[in-house]
Structure 1
Amino acid sequence: MRLDDFDPSDNVRDLGQGSGGGGGFPLLGLLPLFLGRGMGCGGIGMLVVVGLIFLSMSGGLGGLLGGGGGQPQVGQGGGGTGASVCNTAERRFACQVLASTEQTWGQLFQQQGQRYPEPTLNFYQRGVSSGCGAATSAAGPFYCPPDQGIYLDTSFFDELENRFGAAGDFAQAYVIAHEVGHHIQNLTGDAQRVSQAQRTLPTEQGNEMSVRLELQADCYAGVWAAQNRDRLEAGDIEEGLTAANAIGDDTLQRQSGGQVVPDSFTHGSSAQRVKWLRIGLQSGNPASCDTFNQPI
């Protein structure tokens, strides 16, 4: 994806390195990491693309996949802000993707006579403290509604390629665009409506609401890509669809050696994630992403 002409966004922070509290993420990934319905945070979320699950929708974490373990120690080092934080190849690309999403969603909101409040991209290593609580990099990328922050340990991109077989710059861009999709849901109120509904719904129905939320974020990622179709290169769309397929709940459950249990899905099957990313890519219209009133 051609983004070299974008100056890196300055809505970024370096939160430094914390020590992870528990080993690795379960390959059930995309399942609610801390899905305790009282906290609430959302994220593509991904590896455990993203990114996560709405860790809980009332104010907790959400991401592409979910997973993780233990309480991390956080806040060691870092502290930088602004575009100077985009100081590695992976970070610079992430910052350019964020800048592109800022331009795209800013224009789409303006067309509706609204202002787009931009999210902050927070880089960290191993462990981090967010407005949704503490998390480890095992959780994968996630979005936190209370502080309107996207949290990313760029080591996730290695996992995306090596563990999930989803290589390429557009696969990485999809992760970030998915988390931005959760930010859009926070602004539109969809995230809050799901959170409120989940408080009274049985677990299976609450899980379905999470799935619809995650699929909508996938669709929003596709909308962003469609709005920047002139920047796509050969193979980019296939990279994104491969990533979406790799992090479906059913695929992750099979890889973990367990049974596929649809009632436990929180992010959607591989087929569903591919479908809704494709809908966004084909339409380029946020209105096409109404996963709450359409069959998924």
Structure 2
Amino acid sequence: MSSSVFFGSFERFFRHRRTNTSDYREKNATIELLKSSILVAFSGALRIHLAFLLLQVQSSLLTCIAGGLVIYTVYTLDRALGSEEDAVNRKELNGSRKEIGLAVSLITFLIGSCILAKEGMLALALIPFVTGYLYSKGLKIGKFSLKLKGGLGVKNFVVGLTWGAFIAGLAGSNCGSLGPVFLVFTFFGIKLFVNSAIYDFKDIKGDTLAGIKTLPASLGARNTRSLLTGMHLLSHMILGIALIHGILAFEPLIILYSFICGLMCIQNYTKYDDEELPFQKLERTVLVDGESTSILGLRLIAGALLV
């Protein structure tokens, strides 16, 4: 065999290997894109169930599923549309097939919105979908431009307001009084505001490069921690008073676990860490995104023990 033939075969081998490696990375990144919002969607569906419990309204499985699908849509859509900060904050998604993410988002939204439309709550599906698009890409008509991202605390405010209203609206659609619904909206709105600010500490590098004025970047770790702690204490104090006076269902375990878990998250994950260790990431995921799962699991165990 001549040297030219040998080296030609050698070159084709490595070209084939590089192509396969590239295809593998692309497929892996696409899978990461599709599964990256599953946990937050599942957690959101359980939060809707918790809202039903607090409002003393019969929980609807279909409503919870539909709500989870809409939540999955909004978060996957945000990651599929892509943004400057995602290139740093979510490197594992680089090279993913964005069109697949968009297609899956559209399908999940259609399923979720159809379920909610049958229950007369289509508007509640459209609100987070439209808000999510305005947050991710914005709207530009001539000289008019609107994008819900960039201002100090705007990101956290949008998250808290949108999902607080979404959760309380779905669970409270058949509630006879607006007072309890407003309390549930306040509780989940503040909780999700706090959770989004906690995640800002992890994403501070990418957000800063993109020019997004997050709370930790602008106020500093200590001041942000004090703000979040104050908001957390206030929301749980209001909810505790509402439970004592019978305005909401007497669910002390939900409030107590949420209170303790929230304080732990604020104290442990509002620090500037250049590199998050795997066990720290798992711990944060369990405590922040897995909080609603833990609450319902403990409630189920407590109920079985008290029977």
State the TM-score, normalized to the length of structure 1: 0.33
Q: Determine which structure has the larger strand proportion and give its number.
A: 1
Q: Determine which structure has the larger helix proportion and give its number.
A: 2
Bigger radius of gyration, 1 or 2? 2
Higher relative contact order (CA 8 A, sep 6+): 1
State the TM-score, normalized to the length of structure 2: 0.32
